[in-house]
Amino acid sequence: MAFSPFARNIRQSLAPGAMAAAAFAAVIFAGTLALWLPGASRAGLSFLEAFFTATSAVCVTGLTVVDTATAFTPLGHAILLALMEAGGLGIMTIAAFGFWSIGRRLPFSHQAALDDALYQRGVGGQMPRITRRIVTLALSIQAAGAAAMFPFLLSAHGAAGDGRGPLFAAWSAVFHTVSAFCNAGFSLYPDGLAWAGFPGGVAAVMVPLALLGGLGHMALHEFREIGRRLRRGLPPRAHGIHWLSLHTRVVLWVTLGLTAGGGALLWALTAGRGGASAGDAWFLASAGRTSGFSALPMDSLPLAAALLLTGLMFVGGSPGSCAGGIKTTSLAIWFGRLWASLRSEHEVAIAGYAIPPELVWKSGMIVGLATIWNLAGVFLLSVTESAPLSSIWVEQVSAFATAGLTMGITADLSFSGKIWIMLSMFVGRVGPLTILFWVAHTHPKKYRLPLGRVMVG
């Protein structure tokens, strides 16, 4: 009891972003201990292997130093599923849902962390209701996805004659649904989606699951509200003349552009160099950008296709989603700022709306910090690893963007390389919000420095 005032002061002094990062770190540590248990793996894991896997699962990345399908027991796979769900929905979201489900009030500091990480719009007293609806909707989508996958997997295992019956097919459907929706990229099959018996119907279900998981919880909440208004016979236009808010419209536009345009370019770059079909290219541009699933061997891609894919991964998903990257809205605002600068305009406008200066500043910070971090990571890994530069580049961007695609060098990374990739996964999942909060809450100077002139351009 003597330390309670001190602990309370520490909690109150934590920034919301730092609190969310601490929550993710705590779950990663607990997951590491759970995966380190003898019953979680078949031949035993080293502490670093368990630590790396837990970090990848909580940060919903999918990079692994051991084969997920063969290294873990059913208990280990269940632990991975729980870690993916916690990382995908968000630690603060699950904690808030638990508090409000038992009728308790979430501390204000935790509410600030949740609003900063998930809503970013000051929902105030609506937060408990919206959070419950978001969690319910996410679990409902996953349940529907598992139900849709089950018959395909049951038929595939029956045709393969591998002795795996309905129970394993059901478990595989649940595991891959959670992995796809949470953009985690883990699979129960040694070759992932490249398994010879993997049914195309499952891949067709996983693409919309990965896209929905990458749209962001607030966008999904808006879709739910539109459906609810339509069922009640109310007009769906809850945002003036539009059905959807500007945020959700930007998310949809950028996601559609990246998926359609990226898929077309990947098909053009891979056609004739491995025989990739248009479906494979589209799947890689959509699911590979967020969840890390791919039906194509990464090491078979031409260099131009691999570089294009790292660009898609760098953007990633949308704010408040399970995906990483700089986010679709940051890309839209960054290009809006560039266009406004070229036209000598002071306001950054998107779809006829002026974007607040603080959002323009934040998007520039996110893009700048992400670029610096990844360039530094490529340099460090090129010093510590002997892999080709293209493989290092894919590995670094994939870790930061929590995409999980790799050229096959993850297991061969040195000790320092694995530590850096783990740090990149963590920073990519929770870092930008923490950094921005720290920067935004610095005390402004009460004096002005003299102007200085330097040549540019």
CA–CA gap between residue 401 and residue 323 (Å, rounded) = 7
Would you list the domain boundaries of the chain?
326-437
Q: Name the DSSP class of 349.
A: E
237: pLDDT confidence band, cut at 50, 70 and 90?
Answer: low
Burial class of residue 248 (count of CB atoms within 10 Å of its CB; 0-12, 13-18, 19+): buried
Q: At what angle do helices 74-89 and 47-58 cross, to 10 degrees?
A: 40
Residue carrying structure tokens 């630590």: 51
Task: Say what the alpha-carbon torsion angle 46, 52, 55, 56 is, to the nearest 10 degrees.
Answer: -130
Q: Is the pLDDT of residue 15 over 80?
A: no
Give yes or no for a contact between 214 and 316, defined as CB atoms under 8 angstroms apart.
yes
What is the arithmetic mean of pLDDT over 130-148?
85
43: CB partners within 8 A, 6+ apart: 71
Amino acid at the residue 266: L
Lowest-pLDDT range of 99-113, 334-348, 394-408: 99-113
Q: Is the dihedral of CA 418, 80, 313, 351 positive or negative?
A: negative
The predicted structure's pLDDT at residue 74: 92
Alpha helices, H only, 343-414: 357-384, 389-400
Q: Is the pLDDT of residue 383 over 80?
A: yes
CA–CA gap between residue 305 and residue 262 (Å, rounded) = 10
Q: How far from each other are the two terminal CA atoms of the chain, in whole angstroms? A: 61
pLDDT in tens, 278-313: 777 888 888 778 877 776 777 778 888 889 999 999
> Which stretch of DSSP H or E encloses residue 445?
none
The predicted structure's pLDDT at residue 378: 96
115: pLDDT confidence band, cut at 50, 70 and 90?
Answer: low
Residue carrying structure tokens 């609190």: 19
CA–CA gap between residue 410 and residue 49 (Å, rounded) = 11
Amino acid at the residue 306: A
Task: Tell me how long the chain is.
Answer: 457
Q: Is the pLDDT of residue 3 over 50?
A: no
Residues forming a β-bridge with 239: 242
CA–CA gap between residue 329 and residue 215 (Å, rounded) = 11
Give yes or no for a contact between 309 and 266, defined as CB atoms under 8 angstroms apart.
yes
> Higher confidence at residue 402 or residue 117?
402
What is the arithmetic mean of pLDDT over 66-80?
92
Query: Average model confidence (pLDDT) for the chain?
Result: 80
What is the arithmetic mean of pLDDT over 326-344?
92
Return the ∠ at Cα 164 (arms to 159 and 167), rounded to 5°. 120
pLDDT in tens, 253-283: 999 999 889 888 888 888 755 556 777 788 8
Q: Is the pLDDT of residue 102 over 70?
A: no
**pTM for the structure as a whole:** 0.83
Q: At what angle do helices 246-270 and 328-342 cross, to 10 degrees?
A: 90
146: pLDDT confidence band, cut at 50, 70 and 90?
Answer: very high
Amino acid at the residue 339: W
The predicted structure's pLDDT at residue 1: 43
> Higher confidence at residue 189 or residue 171?
171
222: pLDDT confidence band, cut at 50, 70 and 90?
Answer: confident
The predicted structure's pLDDT at residue 8: 46
